[in-house]
């Protein structure tokens, strides 16, 4: 199967605009993991991502008639910039359809490369559908971000470079996966030259596009995907990319948001550059693979695929990196409501630093505190802390992996609201555009009362919202029907222990007992 792609990759004439990026050793990571960790630095491309390779290879091969008609693409980020710069270099007009939720910095970057932009819809899928319609109307050539043989071959030139740069076959190559163009191109070339080299895909836990397709042995469309690693937030793997990946990729690893943030920090420590979340995926997967396999003294390559990150997302990355490295544990702990109880708690955890302590008076008997504790020994010490506190008589809930606690509750610790009854809690992703909240509230009308509201934005296309709503018992089905009609991704969090302990409305005693006893 790879033969035709080998020929396409070898024929790719892209280096009049694409840079041959270095294969750099990550010295710090190598020492920590006791393996030689190498980074293929695609963040050093003119558009700060590998996407330029595939876009330029596709556009450069157009006929003169197609070039005269211009090119069109749908993208909210790296592919858009790759198409725009490629078209500018070749003197071809370009039109990029971007979701209305696209951050201004990305729109400006595309315009800076000479392309025109159209803002349409709230998602890539809506923008893509509109781009295809415009392509038919205007006679323009649609440049697909991943499911095109010439795009795949352009990305495959990365493998050609790194195998030339590396002395002999590495043990494994780790590749971020969105639509599959990058891993398909790399796997096609690597498996032809060195069949024994493992090609391992890495995806976020909340966007397991290829992982799910391989499990089910067919392409599937995910109902929703996580937005933190927006560069790989694709609901369905490509048809051609799945055909290649199914035959050539050894496995796909899933990593958490915290593990991605820790990998961004690792890359910064070793290169003094800031990768975007999708750009750090491969490093996060590499670390997970090394831990799982107890691997030592092997040569491992990670594709650092891009560095297009908004500055205002860095705060969120920094907050989560320590959790991803398991250098911090977040706990809910019940302590007596009496003088000296905080001092006794600090003595109970020993010579460890308290990184966070959130508390508000609830009643005269017991207090529930949200506490962060610094760890020196990673996951093993986390278990040790939990056991140590339990043995000293404290009731403890581990919130380290609780997304609602980390995104919202830690910023809201202010006590319960005993006057609020029939409260249900929901977590939403609101499109980051004017009118999104108004649209939501208009749809709700005056049937249900909002009793709690917390909003956070991390510089992404969607903001994170936690909302408490008073819903009478008989209205629950109607409210869920409203949510379905609204179309925003949501999840109910009423039974979340962090909410039960720190923010629930109404009578909370039963909720507290359930939180500590699971």
| Cβ neighbour number for residue 243 with a 10 Å cutoff | 15
- Tell which residue, 265, 290, 263, has the closest CA to residue 36: 290
- Tell which residue, 444, 463, 465, has the closest CA to residue 454: 465
- Reading the block at residue 116, the tokens are 């025109």
The beta-carbon contacts of 444-448 under 8 Å, at least 24 apart in sequence, are 444/482, 447/475, 447/478, 448/475, 448/479
Q: Which residues contact 248 (CB under 8 A, 6 or more apart)?
A: 1, 2, 184, 187, 188, 191, 199
Q: How far apart are CA 346 and CA 354, in angstroms?
A: 8
Q: How far apart are CA 462 and CA 241, in angstroms?
A: 28
Q: How far apart are CA 515 and CA 494, in angstroms?
A: 11
Q: Which residues contact 222 (CB under 8 A, 6 or more apart)?
A: 207, 208, 209, 212, 235, 236
Can you tell me whether residue 332 is helix, strand or coil? strand
Q: How far apart are CA 386 and CA 379, in angstroms?
A: 11
Q: How far apart are CA 161 and CA 282, in angstroms?
A: 18
- Beta-strand relationship, 328-336 and 366-374: antiparallel
DSSP, res 325: T
With beta carbons less than 8 A apart as the criterion, state whether 460 and 227 touch: yes
Q: Which residues contact 82 (CB under 8 A, 6 or more apart)?
A: 47, 49, 51, 52, 53, 54, 55, 56
- Reading the block at residue 425, the tokens are 């809690």
SS3 breakdown of the chain: % helix, strand, coil, rounded to 5? 45, 20, 35
- Reading the block at residue 344, the tokens are 């006794």
DSSP, res 322: H
Q: How far apart are CA 162 and CA 282, in angstroms?
A: 15
With beta carbons less than 8 A apart as the criterion, state whether 440 and 486 touch: yes
Q: How far apart are CA 305 and CA 276, in angstroms?
A: 8
Catalytically active residues are 51, 305
With beta carbons less than 8 A apart as the criterion, state whether 400 and 257 touch: no
């Amino acid at each position: 199967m790879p033969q035709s792609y080998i020929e396409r990759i070898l024929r790719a004439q892209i280096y009049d605009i694409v840079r041959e990026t270095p294969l750099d050793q990550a010295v710090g990571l190598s020492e920590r993991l006791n393996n030689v960790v190498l980074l293929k630095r695609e963040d050093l491309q003119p558009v700060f991502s590998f996407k330029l390779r595939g876009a330029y290879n596709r556009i450069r091969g157009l006929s003169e008639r197609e070039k005269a008609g211009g090119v069109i693409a749908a993208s909210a980020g790296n592919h858009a910039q790759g198409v725009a710069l490629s078209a500018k270099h070749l003197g071809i007009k370009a039109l990029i359809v971007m979701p209305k939720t696209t951050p201004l910095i990305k729109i400006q970057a595309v315009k800076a490369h000479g392309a025109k932009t159209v803002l349409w819809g709230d998602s890539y899928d809506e923008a893509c559908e509109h781009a295809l319609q415009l392509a038919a109307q205007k006679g323009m050539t649609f440049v697909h971000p991943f499911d095109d043989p010439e795009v795949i071959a352009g990305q495959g030139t990365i493998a050609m470079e790194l195998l030339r740069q590396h002395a002999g076959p590495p043990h494994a190559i780790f590749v971020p996966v969105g639509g599959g163009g990058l891993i398909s191109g790399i796997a096609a070339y690597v498996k032809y030259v060195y069949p024994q080299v493992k090609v391992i895909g890495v995806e976020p836990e909340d966007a397991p596009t290829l992982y799910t397709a391989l499990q089910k042995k067919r392409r599937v469309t995910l109902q929703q995907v996580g937005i933190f690693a927006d560069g790989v937030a694709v609901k369905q793997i490509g048809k051609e990319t799945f055909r290649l990946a199914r035959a050539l990729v050894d496995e796909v690893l899933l990593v958490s948001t915290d593990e991605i943030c820790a990998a961004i920090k690792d890359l910064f420590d070793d290169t003094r550059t800031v990768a975007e979340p999708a750009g750090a995926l491969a490093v996060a997967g590499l670390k997970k693979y090394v831990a799982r396999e107890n691997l030592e003294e092997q040569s491992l390559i990670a594709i650092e695929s891009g560095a297009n990150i908004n500055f205002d997302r860095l705060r969120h990355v920094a907050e989560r990196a320590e959790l991803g490295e398991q250098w911090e544990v977040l706990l809910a702990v019940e302590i007596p409501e009496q003088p000296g109880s905080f001092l006794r708690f600090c003595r109970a955890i020993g010579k460890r630093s308290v990184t966070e302590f959130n508390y508000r008076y609830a009643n005269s008997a017991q207090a529930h505190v949200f506490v962060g504790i610094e760890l020196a020994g990673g996951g093993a010490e986390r278990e040790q802390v939990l056991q140590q506190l339990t043995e000293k008589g404290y009731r403890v809930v581990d919130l380290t992996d609780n997304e609602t606690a980390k995104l919202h509750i830690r910023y809201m610790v202010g006590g319960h609201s005993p006057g609020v009854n029939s409260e249900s809690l929901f977590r939403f992703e609101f499109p980051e555009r004017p009118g999104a909240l108004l649209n939501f509230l208009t749809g709700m009308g005056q049937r249900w009362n909002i009793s709690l509201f917390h909003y956070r934005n991390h510089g992404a296309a969607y903001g994170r919202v936690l909302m408490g709503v008073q819903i009478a018992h008989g209205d629950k089905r109607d409210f869920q029907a409203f949510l379905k009609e609204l179309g925003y991704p949501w999840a109910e969090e009423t039974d979340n222990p962090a909410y039960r302990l720190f923010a629930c409305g109404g009578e909370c005693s039963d909720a507290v007992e359930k939180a500590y006893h699971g």
